[in-house]
């Protein structure tokens, strides 16, 4: 379910083309509690435009940046999807558990505005720092990649990952890589998706299908 009134809202109308696409992507990619793991490298690939932390500042009145700038929370997403959260509802309970885990419940309707983790008085200075932080990429060595894959306990072939990106100049598509750990997580997700897709589906014989129909009356 999506908010069709967004086209009429001043916040959305004032966004440029790239920011509108990024906002759509975040709303589609966040979890059911309106929490999005910040991965601007993947976001850039999927919307086809380069975005960085400064772009998230365009949403500063709509999001909460938390967890050491690793995640964002969108209060309006929860309020639009669920209305007032009811702890007796299993779906709502799952949302409440996540909000309580990260101390986010106070940002829902009734709170005094939404604050990001960036200090308002140093906002411009922090945005510049965020840009520099995103653009400054340090190439990992093979040991770094192996250690990170082991830490995540994933099935990514660390040597294959390292050889692939070191041979293409550490680029993702046509863009320079910004976060190699985010790329590892993308490989991890793609590997899991491919594994699920490759699992054989059970094929019933005509006899088995007939027996099932008989048993079902």
Write the pLDDT tens digit of every residue in 174-217: 788 888 998 999 998 887 766 666 655 555 555 455 555 555 65
Distance (Å, rounded) from C-alpha 96 to C-alpha 106?
A: 11
Domain count, the chain: 2
Distance (Å, rounded) from C-alpha 184 to C-alpha 190?
A: 10
Same domain for 121 and 143, yes or no, is: no
Say what the pLDDT of residue 37 is: 95
Other beta carbons less than 10 A from residue 22's beta carbon: 23
Largest CA distance in the chain: 73
Q: Is the pTM of this model over 0.85?
A: no
Distance (Å, rounded) from C-alpha 139 to C-alpha 178?
A: 10
Output helix, strand, coil percentages for the chain, rounded to the nearest 5: 60, 5, 35
Contact assessment for residue 189 and residue 197, using Cβ atoms and an 8 Å cutoff:
no
Residues facing 72 on adjacent strands = 36, 65
Same domain for 72 and 152, yes or no, is: no
Distance (Å, rounded) from C-alpha 174 to C-alpha 210?
A: 54
Q: Can you tell me whether residue 132 is helix, strand or coil? A: helix
pLDDT cut 90: percent of the chain above it: 47
Same domain for 111 and 8, yes or no, is: yes
Same domain for 79 and 14, yes or no, is: yes
Distance (Å, rounded) from C-alpha 96 to C-alpha 92?
A: 6
Same domain for 144 and 129, yes or no, is: no
Per the domain annotation, does 174 fall within a domain?
yes
Same domain for 123 and 142, yes or no, is: no
Same domain for 112 and 41, yes or no, is: yes
pLDDT category at 162 given cuts 50, 70, 90 is: very high
Say what the pLDDT of residue 35 is: 96
Say what the pLDDT of residue 211 is: 57
Which residue, among 141, 146, 167, 173, has the nearest Cα to 157 in the 3D structure?
146
Same domain for 74 and 99, yes or no, is: yes
Per the domain annotation, does 72 fall within a domain?
yes
Q: Which of 134, 151, 174 is the last residue of a domain?
A: 134
Where in the sequence is the domain holding 173, given as residue range(s)? 137-198
Same domain for 32 and 63, yes or no, is: yes
Per the domain annotation, does 208 fall within a domain?
no
pLDDT category at 8 given cuts 50, 70, 90 is: confident
């Amino acid at each position: 379910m999506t908010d069709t009134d967004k086209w009429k809202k001043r916040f959305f109308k004032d966004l440029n083309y790239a920011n509108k696409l990024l906002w759509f992507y975040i709303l589609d990619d966040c979890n059911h509690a309106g929490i999005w793991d910040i991965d601007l490298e993947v976001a850039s690939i999927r919307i086809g435009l380069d975005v960085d932390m400064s772009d998230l500042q365009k949403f500063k009145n709509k999001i909460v940046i938390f967890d050491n700038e690793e995640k964002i929370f969108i209060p309006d997403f929860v309020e639009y999807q669920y209305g007032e959260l009811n702890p007796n509802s299993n779906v709502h309970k799952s949302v409440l558990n996540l909000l309580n885990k990260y101390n986010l419940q106070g940002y829902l309707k009734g709170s005094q505005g939404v604050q990001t983790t960036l200090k308002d008085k140093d906002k411009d200075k922090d945005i510049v720092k965020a840009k520099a932080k995103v653009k400054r990429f340090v190439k990992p060595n093979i040991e770094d990649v192996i250690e990170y894959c082991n830490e995540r306990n994933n099935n990514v072939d660390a040597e294959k990952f390292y050889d692939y990106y070191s041979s293409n100049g550490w680029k993702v598509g046509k863009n320079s890589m910004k976060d190699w750990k985010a790329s590892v997580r993308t490989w991890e997700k793609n590997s899991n998706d491919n594994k699920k897709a490759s699992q054989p589906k059970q094929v019933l014989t005509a006899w088995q299908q007939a027996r099932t129909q008989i048993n079902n009356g």
